[in-house]
Amino acid sequence: MSEHHSGVSPLVEVALADCSVCPHRALLAEARCVPGDICVTAQSGRQIDRFLRRNPQFAEGYLHDHFWERRAIAARYAPLEVVRQLPRDADEVVRRVVVSRVPVDELDAYLHDSDREVRMTAANRLAPERLNALLADVDYLVRLQVAKRLPHGQLRNMAGDEDREVRKEVARRLPSFALGMMLKDSDAEVRRIVAQRCLPDDAAKLLADDDWLVRLEAVQRAPLEVIAEMVDDAEPDVRAAVRERLNDFLLGDEQ
């Protein structure tokens, strides 16, 4: 378990660091560090960040510090050419910072990291055509990130994902002509999205759906000659939507 999971609240400020033994005490005179506010030796992420943001030239020296948060913040400000050469850190927060900075063609080493947020960061930065490497990730949030960026031509590979949130994103992004493969999705929320976007002939196939909200969406897109038989639907809102479309047609508002 990482040391920052020890249960100590990150909001609790610790005692002031001892400036007399600090290697940067000369900066006090220049107001480049301020005890209790801008301090790299304090056990406070806020103070460390303020210090290294103001004095980034010292960041490289803290990349191997014993304190995980000091290493993670140092990785934000250290030169990229140094950060990219770092060995894999034991702490996932440090690795998240590193994976957010290294060149995209150097992300392969992090695609199967044990921390899902590291993999999610990688998925957000990878070139879309390389996202196939994460299609089968064990965590649905990683796959969801993939579904948001995967090229349309490869999205159909995720249409059968085990998680409905992933399938919902696929249904939002697939071209309308490709949504026929999701008409029989097991989840009503997925089918509702499909009904909102699919081609008219596919929408007609959803008029008998068990979920009335799916039918309601379907009657908005299905051909007029098919929805006429829905005037006796069990759900009042569906019947009203059918009548509205038919009336619009009779009044010439719908082609």
What CATH number is attached to the domain comprising 52?
1.25.10.10
Q: How buried is residue 45: exposed, middle or buried, by Cβ count under 10 Å (0-12/13-18/19+)?
A: middle
Identify the domain containing residue 97 by its residue range: 1-102
Q: Which residues make beta-bridge pairs with 38?
A: 34
How large is the C-alpha radius of gyration of the chain?
Answer: 28
Q: How many domains does the chain have?
A: 1
Q: Quick one: pLDDT at residue 9?
A: 41
Q: Quick one: pLDDT at residue 17?
A: 78
Whether residue 70 lies inside any domain: the answer is: yes
- Categorize the per-residue pLDDT at 179 as very low, low, confident or very high, splitting at 50, 70 and 90: very high
- Tell me the C-alpha to C-alpha distance, in Å, between residue 214 and each of 6, 155, 210: 47, 22, 8
DSSP per position, 187-215: -HHHHHHHHHHS-HHHHHTTTT-SSHHHH
162: DSSP letter: S
Q: Quick one: pLDDT at residue 8?
A: 41
Contact status, residue 86 vs residue 97, Cβ threshold 8 Å: no
- Categorize the per-residue pLDDT at 7 as very low, low, confident or very high, splitting at 50, 70 and 90: very low
Q: Which comes out higher in pLDDT, residue 236 or 29?
A: 236
Find all residues with CB under 8 Å of 104, minimum gap 6, and list them: 125, 126, 127
Whether residue 62 lies inside any domain: the answer is: yes
Cα angle vertex 108, ends 104, 110, to 5°?
100
pLDDT for 195 beyond 80: yes
Joined tokens for residue 63: 């990349």
Tens-place pLDDT, residues 88-129: 999 999 999 999 999 999 999 899 999 999 999 999 999 998
The mean per-residue pLDDT over the stretch 132-160 comes to 95
Model-level pTM? 0.82
Q: Quick one: pLDDT at residue 107?
A: 93
Whether residue 168 lies inside any domain: the answer is: no
Q: Quick one: pLDDT at residue 19?
A: 86
Whether residue 240 lies inside any domain: the answer is: no
Whether residue 191 lies inside any domain: the answer is: no
pLDDT for 26 beyond 90: no
Whether residue 58 lies inside any domain: the answer is: yes
Whether residue 246 lies inside any domain: the answer is: no
Whether residue 200 lies inside any domain: the answer is: no
Tens-place pLDDT, residues 47-98: 999 999 999 999 999 999 999 999 999 999 999 999 999 999 999 999 999 9
pLDDT for 181 beyond 70: yes
CA distance 169 to 159: 9
